[in-house]
Structure 1
């Protein structure tokens, strides 16, 4: 039986010749867009847990007497496992399929967040929110968006990746005001149950609509030409051995360390400090937690705009230059933040929210593009390891910021330190200059 793809006279990829002819209208969208839509729903629906500890820090402190540092440790465990799971998730998706891995991840998040209603000790928070939610979220980390955009798209890869990356911000936009209202009016247990139920609900469209590869439907990736090799095709390596092999090859490449170092600073200055401590820091200055949560959600609004725009720019501008601009502007905004906090929302503080939101995860599309350029078919796994460094940086910052708050009574040193780290990220990105390496074909060693 032949499996060769053919191209009809209208230029669209045809289905396999030995299957029933494709009688769809010519205006029907490529199935890649359906897969992208389902992926976006998954990322939106599973995003509610990300800022939940910041919302519940005050409630847990009041009910259990846990310090900011203690809660920060649970967040740090979550971020570390999120990061360490990410590189293996890409290989697991290759071996067992995106659909199975994603559904299992969503259910793990649901169980982990749901069980927190029974906790009475800090170790139980670490087990549920740290280990279970961390493992589940890591399985759908950057590997998920990178795998989907790489398998299903040749054209518009940067744009699609930007939209999927912004899905988490969209989730925060939707969940934060709701969860904040629930915490204030119904208690924190109602809020975590909403997170649990939503993570379960979005697994249904994954089961019904997700497909592994375009070839499963007799299609080429969106924008691909007939005869073009599958850039995401992989060998038959076992998931664990392949992930470790890719790491061994990547650590011999200078660009890997520069990307990993700069991206770890990205994690420290986003999920580590701002994502975890923005709400309690604003509350320290007299701002109601519901108002602070709404502002964090507003950051999510502009994060969507900034990340999608970054994906669009990544298709057109040198990714290294984009990273230089993003880190420099982020550092400047964080250094100014301690002077902007107040009991009410004033124009300078609103300007920070807009400015910082545009920059929140705008670093992801250019970082992924540089991984693809350097590591070719192994890029999803390499980016998984880079993302592990991102989460490790976030984990260290989450605990450190909480400890600084407990010791000094405010977060000022945390914000100043985050700004200084962004300056270091600029220096690391300067080291990325030079002629980009050619894309590595599947199975070939990475360029050095």
Structure 2
């Protein structure tokens, strides 16, 4: 059953490039509303399914595609509406998921314990409908950035072209050396990035910490990453740190923290450690879309993010199961967490080759 969620997450990342093309063909609002519709139908239909094989289609595939349309679109949505306050706006957008985790984690646990997982799925189906109505407020706009006015004549001609002609006319993102290095470094780091977060509760249990206490790890992590996402946007906006160097610093710190984690085994020691990790992780999450958008043309932002997500889909899908296999072999998380930290640090080093 664990593969249901893992496959859905992998498909969500894998369909990133298709999400980018969909938004280019239509607009953000259409992608968000279609994504919410697919997620709502997926959770509603899955609540009536009794076969695990069918759930792989109704939940893993359908929900993964819907979530891809929503999440990949949202990650670069602020780029279409903000210039001066882009950093803070991106931080606010990204903090939504961590705030949601704080609220929905105990709520979903209560619903499952009281009414069962089927009713929980139906509840979430209704929430997706509500979110779909909220997406009606997302007004598609065409803003002009600095230097766009000189291209008005070319833009008028391009607007008369078909969508297929526009895409073929646009130069490939993979001819962009900086973007290629960015994708390689990020994908490399993603091999280990999710490992400690996925196995955090299990790590606490293996060290003799009760499950009831381990649930506090998730709450502390969600709260800390929310703060990190809001603060990092301000830091970049004020110009205190270059965004590329900032994300490299975050990756190196995260990698080192992953390697230090096996030395901390007590509940009292893990709480502040997780809080600090959450702060740094919050900065990293906000900087991902910001750096991606800064390396490509404004009109290619959503497609670039989709390609990055699609490339990283294999990394984020393989990493956590590989760490679980290492735990089964050695009986502890020492090797797994060290192996998780190394690719994150290496990914940060690869980014030094980006011409900035």
For the aligned pair, the TM-score class normalised by the smaller chain equals 0.7 to 0.9
CA 1:372–1:156: 2 relative to 1, 3 Å:
same
In structure 2, C-alpha distance between the alignment counterparts of 1:276 and 1:295, rounded to whole Å: 11
Aligned partner of 1:117 in structure 2 is: 47
What's the secondary structure of 2:184's corresponding residue?
Answer: helix
Q: Deviations over 1:364-401 (max 9, x none)?
A: 44343333333112122112211223333211113323
CA displacement at 1:350 relative to structure 2: 0.8
What does residue range 80-91 of structure 1 map to in structure 2 within 5 Å? 80-91=10-21
CA 1:402–1:310: 2 relative to 1, 3 Å:
same
Aligned partner of 1:308 in structure 2 is: 230
What's the secondary structure of 1:141's corresponding residue?
Answer: helix
CA 1:356–1:151: 2 relative to 1, 3 Å:
same
CA 1:299–1:382: 2 relative to 1, 3 Å:
same
RCO higher in 1 or 2 (8 Å CA, sep ≥ 6)? 2
Aligned partner of 1:252 in structure 2 is: 175
Aligned partner of 1:23 in structure 2 is: none
Q: Deviations over 1:317-374 (max 9, x none)?
A: 21221022101110121112233345xx31x201121111112242244343333333
Q: Contact between 1:109 and 1:133, CA under 8 Å: does it hold in 2?
A: yes
What's the secondary structure of 1:360's corresponding residue?
Answer: helix
Aligned partner of 1:63 in structure 2 is: none
CA 1:411–1:226: 2 relative to 1, 3 Å:
closer
Q: Contact between 2:17 and 2:307, CA under 8 Å: does it hold in 1?
A: yes
Task: Determine whether 1:164 maps to 2:93.
Answer: yes
For structure 1, list consecutive stretches of 5 or more residues without a partner in the other structure: 1-65, 437-448
Look at both structures and tell me which one has the larger radius of gyration over its CA atoms: 1
Give the alignment's TM-score, normalised by structure 1.
0.68
CA 1:115–1:370: 2 relative to 1, 3 Å:
same
Aligned partner of 1:203 in structure 2 is: 132
Q: Which residue of 345, 351, 366 maps to 2:272?
A: 351
Aligned partner of 2:264 in structure 1 is: 340
Task: Determine whether 1:293 maps to 2:240.
Answer: no
Aligned partner of 2:311 in structure 1 is: 389
Q: Which residue of 264, 280, 289 maps to 2:187?
A: 264
What does residue range 25-104 of structure 1 map to in structure 2 within 5 Å? 71=2, 73-104=3-34
Q: Deviations over 1:273-318 (max 9, x none)?
A: 2443333443444444454333213211111111222222223121
Q: Which has the higher helix share?
A: 2
Q: Which residue of 242, 266, 269 maps to 1:318?
A: 242
CA 1:86–1:332: 2 relative to 1, 3 Å:
same
In structure 2, C-alpha distance between the alignment counterparts of 1:240 and 1:400, rounded to whole Å: 40
CA 1:366–1:194: 2 relative to 1, 3 Å:
same
CA RMSD of aligned residues (A): 3.2
Aligned partner of 1:36 in structure 2 is: none
CA displacement at 1:105 relative to structure 2: 0.5
CA 1:224–1:243: 2 relative to 1, 3 Å:
closer
Q: Which residue of 105, 123, 130 maps to 1:176?
A: 105
What's the secondary structure of 2:140's corresponding residue?
Answer: coil
- The worse-fitting range, judged by mean Cα deviation, of 283-292 and 248-257 is 283-292
Q: Deviations over 1:150-194 (max 9, x none)?
A: 221122112111211222112112111222344455544444333
Count residues in correspondence: 349
Q: Which residue of 132, 137, 141 maps to 2:71?
A: 141
CA displacement at 1:102 relative to structure 2: 0.8
Give the alignment's TM-score, normalised by structure 2.
0.84
Q: Deviations over 1:193-219 (max 9, x none)?
A: 333332222112223x22111x6xxxx
